[in-house]
Structure 1
Amino acid sequence: MEIRFKSSECNGGELVKSFNKDFEISFLSEEEYSEFKEGVVGIVREIHVNNIFVLFQDYNNENSENCTLQVVQNHPVFLLQFVMDGEVTFSLNENTSKEFSTSKNMYNLFYIPASRYLYRYLNPKKQVLNIYFTESFLECKMGECFINHSKKYHQAKKENQICSFFNRGLVLNRKLRNIVNEFLNCSFDGLSKQSYLESKLTELILMALSSGDSETVINEIRKEDRENLIRIENYIRTHLKEELNIEKLSLLAGFNTSKFKIVFKQVYGMPVFKYITSLRIEKAIELISKHNYNISQASYEVGYKNPQHFTVAFKKKLGYLPSQLIN
């Protein structure tokens, strides 16, 4: 199996990757690239573990919003694509008449036949996690029923066309985002790292595809409302230090308070304040564990004016005191 990548932003021309059948490999393979054209800053990471190939793009183009990544593959694959920042569209053979799009804080599963296709990145900032695997891997992890029940997949396979499993894509919720972060920030080395990455990828794939049951609920929500929810979730995530209340968030989302609470829980799986508390505690753990903040400093940075209130919320959620992170 061979996949060729050619980006309009990278120096060095075309990148050719050759793989054994079903991405089989007995060791962990990693590469990182940072050689971009002038005005482009960031990294591209490749991670190859048994049966899975990962391409992570995290960079910013100061000169242009639009860039392209041409991909040629000689074997059909499945692509599970998570877009943390930016917006990505792609189509076969530069034919934009049938274009697939994944927006910020969304993800989707695609079947891609042996073909030439083109990614278009519509924002200067790009943070995209692409996970490639084959049908045999998907059947092994999800069972034959997952793809056998998909009529549009079998039709696309017959016609050599791209197929998206979730029409509008699904929301990248907190649980999935946590798994993505754990995968990307692995601190293990050697064989332990290989085992950890394989387990995290399996967990991420299973969680993401099992969440497909919520597609009907999400599709029933108007596109504008869904986009507003995603925008507000990002606002919450980047303003944890501020006072966040239902009235303020509802107003920013353009909903009345009752609708906001109902629709938020439908999409993100929990009430607004429970979601905010979870984000605050996760951020505080990062500040304490990785950046040597004390408990008072961390609690203040995530929106708690009283460290005791933070300690109570932390203990209630996790079952132990934040001081144990320091110890």
Structure 2
Amino acid sequence: MTIIDKGLIFLKHINNSNNTLMYNFEIDKSYIQFHFCTKGNSKFLFNEGSYVFPLVSDKSILLFNPNTELPLNLLLTSNSLVLSVLISVTKLHGLFSNEAAQISFLNEDNIGNKFYKDQPIEPMISIVLNQMLNHSIDRSMYKLYIRSKVFELISLYFNKKKELSVEQCPFLNDNNNIKKIKTAKDIIISKMVEPPTLNELAAEVNISLKKLKEGFKQVYGSSVYGFLLDYKMEVSKSLLSSKDYNVNEVALKVGYSTASHFINAFKKKNGITPKKYLMSI
């Protein structure tokens, strides 16, 4: 959980296990909830489980009920990811003070009514979500970065002219292109020990090499191999933290043939060696 500002919270719900997990979080009824499922499947449970709302990959839901508490009870299936933004009505009204009347549940006629909306995740929103997940921002600047991305996310969500923003980048006009880039990302993750060449990857997802490079940068904010390196480093930290593997074993698991290459890459990325990282946890 990241408390960005008073009245503004960012949550990541990640399930990389083989089991279904339950996430619970108390939410005051003055908060508007935005939930985005970027991978896998999830279910929101209400009224002690008597009502279930499914949220699948590439879908979002907005929830607001000023009359009843809506605590977060989220069932997350294996290999699933849901990002949530919680913002108080007061905070949101402050952000859109001049446009509040254009947002249906903020205008005076509806301010006391409940509001539910589910819809596909727009391409531009998908890009922002991926940037929030995959970045190389220094820890000291993380909250500021996430704050800017959350504001961008909310502005895109309520933007009535999303299609104009998309047209600024022709690649994003086609949702199929976004899906191909996401597939390419999944492929390099699944094959991180022996990743394909860029030409092989482009051929596998049926896209040109140029579009692969440009699209990956636009969607994930990094080159293909830059993203893969960041992913390997995150996996290696997770493996080291488990204390089930030594440095040599971790190096092999993330695709390094020699421990020395892994140690150099880890230190360059994290500022400390794997051994010192182990000692710090």
**Common topology (TM > 0.5):** yes
Question: What does 1:52-67 align with in structure 2 at a 5 Å threshold?
Answer: 52=27
Match of 1:46 among 15, 18, 24: 24
Question: What does 1:150-165 align with in structure 2 at a 5 Å threshold?
Answer: 154-158=103-107, 162=116
Percent identical pairs in the alignment equals 19
d(CA) in 1 for partners of 2:255 and 2:195? Answer: 7
Q: SS of the counterpart of 1:249? A: helix
d(CA) in 2 for partners of 1:89 and 1:237? Answer: 26
TM-aligned CA distance change 1:110 to 1:309, over 3 Å: same
Is 1:300–2:249 an aligned residue pair?
no
Kindly state the Cα deviation for residue 223 of structure 1 after the two structures are TM-superposed.
0.7
Kindly state the Cα deviation for residue 239 of structure 1 after the two structures are TM-superposed.
2.8
Contact 2:42 2:77 in 1 (8 A): no
Match of 1:257 among 188, 209, 222: 209
Is 1:81–2:35 an aligned residue pair?
yes
Question: What does 1:189-200 align with in structure 2 at a 5 Å threshold?
Answer: none
The residue aligned with 1:268 is 220
Is 1:173–2:134 an aligned residue pair?
no
The residue aligned with 2:261 is 309
Kindly state the Cα deviation for residue 157 of structure 1 after the two structures are TM-superposed.
3.5
TM-aligned CA distance change 1:320 to 1:124, over 3 Å: closer
Contact 2:36 2:121 in 1 (8 A): no
The residue aligned with 1:209 is 150
The residue aligned with 2:196 is 244
Aligned-CA RMSD value: 4.4
- Higher RCO (Cα < 8 Å, 6 or more apart): 2
TM-score when scaled to structure 1? 0.54
TM-aligned CA distance change 1:152 to 1:107, over 3 Å: farther
d(CA) in 2 for partners of 1:220 and 1:89? Answer: 29
Contact 1:176 1:208 in 2 (8 A): no
Contact 1:80 1:108 in 2 (8 A): yes
d(CA) in 2 for partners of 1:148 and 1:87? Answer: 35
d(CA) in 1 for partners of 2:119 and 2:147? Answer: 14
Unaligned runs of 5+ in 1: 1-21, 24-40, 54-74, 91-100, 179-199
Q: SS of the counterpart of 2:237? A: helix
Q: Which amino acid aligns with 2:90?
A: S
Q: Which amino acid aligns with 1:44?
A: M
Kindly state the Cα deviation for residue 173 of structure 1 after the two structures are TM-superposed.
2.2
d(CA) in 2 for partners of 1:131 and 1:244? Answer: 35
Q: Deviations over 1:225-268 (max 9, x none)?
A: 11222222233333322223211221222211111000110111
Kindly state the Cα deviation for residue 102 of structure 1 after the two structures are TM-superposed.
6.6
TM-aligned CA distance change 1:84 to 1:317, over 3 Å: same
Q: SS of the counterpart of 2:196? A: coil
Unaligned runs of 5+ in 2: 1-5, 8-18, 45-53, 136-141, 157-161
Q: How many residues align?
A: 226
Q: Deviations over 1:45-86 (max 9, x none)?
A: 2123xxx46xxxxxxxxxxxxxxxxxxxxx664112132533
The residue aligned with 2:176 is 224
